[in-house]
């Protein structure tokens, strides 16, 4: 019984690892081909690089955001916006409307005070969907280099090739046993 449980656990872990590698390869390929940010089913995947929104999502997690165009948000919504050359995901704490131009005051849940800037509506990339997976963001960040992208394409191919060779060898041994 213990041997069967160990075998099942090993197969489950290796299958999960292969699925994760294939998922990351899909994200990398789709973003490289399109030249856009990594996205799955119309949702962008973003890596969390700081603890400003803890405990909602932890550093090193990935979060899903839904892209929006000129959508107005309400106080309490979590938005991702462009600030200079980086993306930030914070909660809206106040909405400003000056001469018909909407902007948002934001704050990270784990920060002591509000952000020192207002976010114009056209700088908002999307809104947080509530979906997060801890620790995967570390792997996603590593995959941004060209070397890691190549490795992520090589590993699933190598695993599939190894599995095929292993299956052929196992079938050949089984055939030899049956002949004897």
Q: Could you list the active site residues?
A: 50
The tokens for 25 are: 């390869």
What DSSP letter does each residue of 8-61 carry, written as one string?
A: HHHHHHHHHHHHHHHHHHHHHHHHHHH-S--EETTEEEEE--SSTTTTTS-TT-
Distances from the Cα of 161 to the Cαs of 42, 142, 158, 165, 167, in angstroms? Answer: 32, 25, 5, 6, 10
């Amino acid at each position: 019984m213990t041997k069967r449980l160990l075998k099942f656990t090993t197969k489950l872990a290796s299958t999960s690892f292969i699925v994760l590698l294939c998922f990351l390869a899909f994200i990398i390929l789709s973003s490289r081909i399109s030249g856009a940010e990594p996205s799955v089913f119309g949702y962008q995947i973003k890596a969390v690089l700081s603890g400003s929104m803890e405990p909602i999502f932890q550093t090193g997690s990935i979060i899903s955001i839904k892209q929006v165009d000129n959508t107005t948000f309400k106080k309490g919504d979590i938005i991702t916006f462009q600030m200079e050359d980086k993306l930030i995901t914070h909660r809206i704490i106040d909405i400003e409307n000056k001469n018909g131009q909407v902007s948002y005051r934001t704050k990270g849940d784990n920060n002591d005070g509000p952000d020192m800037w207002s976010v114009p509506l056209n700088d908002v990339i999307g809104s947080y969907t509530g979906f997060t997976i801890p620790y995967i963001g570390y792997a996603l960040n590593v995959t941004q280099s060209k070397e890691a992208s190549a490795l992520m394409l090589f590993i699933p191919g190598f695993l599939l090739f190894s599995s095929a060779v292993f299956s052929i060898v196992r079938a050949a041994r089984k055939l030899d046993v049956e002949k004897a």
